[in-house]
Amino acid sequence: SLGKGSYAVATAGQKLVKTGLAEHLDIFFSMFHLWFKDMLYFLYRKHESIVFIDQLDFISRHARERSAEQWVAYMGFAAESTKKLRSNANAQLCLEQFLIRL
């Protein structure tokens, strides 16, 4: 039986494919990679390097919810997902695996 989280991930993946956004997933993963990097920049007080500076308030509230090691791992998940897409993996499956690992 699927839990609430699994159901939400599956639903998100299905909606993405149905709306045609799946062809832009590489950009989605790149944006997440930058977002996770911004969390690291905040943790290491390198605010001048933050890409999403307009989101500094949100970043400041949430960056400490994970360790630096976790943010780096999340960056790796995003990069790995991009690599899978480039190898012609199923877009919905790539997205679902990425979201489950977070």
Question: Quick one: pLDDT at residue 7?
Answer: 72
At 20 the pLDDT is: 74
Closest-CA residue to 102 (of 75, 68, 83): 75
Q: What is the pLDDT along the chain (102 residues), one digit of tens a residue?
A: 445 556 776 677 677 767 777 788 999 999 999 999 999 999 999 999 999 999 999 999 999 999 999 999 999 999 999 999 999 999 889 988 998 998
- Residue that has been written with the tokens 């039986």 in this structure: 1
Q: What's the total number of domains in the chain? A: 1
Return the pLDDT at 24. 86
Statement: the pTM of the whole predicted model exceeds 0.85: no
Q: Which of 23, 1, 7 is nearest to 94 (CA)?
A: 23
Structural domain containing residue 51: 4-101
